Amino acid sequence: MALPDSGLSGEEVPFPEIIELNVGGQVYITRYSTLTSVPDSLLWEMFSQKSAKGLARDTKGRFFVDRDGFLFRYILDYMRDQQLVLPDHFPERGRLQREAEFFNLPELVKILAPKISKQNSLGDEGCQSDPEDSSPGIDTARNLSSLGAAAAACASLVPGAMDGKRSGFITIGYRGSYTLGRDSHTDAKFRRVARIMVCGKTSLAKEVFGETLNESRDPDRPPERYTSRYYLKFTFLEQAFDKLADAGFHMVACNSTGTCAFAHEQTDDKIWTSYTEYVFYRE
User: In which residue ranges of the chain is pLDDT below 50?
Assistant: 1-10, 119-138, 140-141, 144, 152, 154-156, 158, 160-162, 185-186
Ordered domains of the chain (ranges, CATH): 18-112 (3.30.710.10), 168-182+189-282 (no CATH)
- pTM passes above 0.75: no
Asked if residue 58 lies in contact with residue 22, where contact means CB atoms within 8 angstroms, the answer is yes
- Spell out a b/e string for 195-232, using b for 16 or more CB atoms within 10 Å of the CB, else e: ebbbbbbbbbbbbbbeeebbbeeeeebbbeeebeebbb
Q: What per-residue confidence (pLDDT) applies to 168?
A: 92
Instruction: For residue range 193-232, list pLDDT tens digits in order.
Output: 778 999 999 999 999 999 899 888 888 888 889 998 898 9
Q: What per-residue confidence (pLDDT) applies to 12?
A: 57
Q: What per-residue confidence (pLDDT) applies to 53?
A: 85
Instruction: For residue range 102-124, list pLDDT tens digits in order.
Output: 999 999 999 998 876 554 444 44
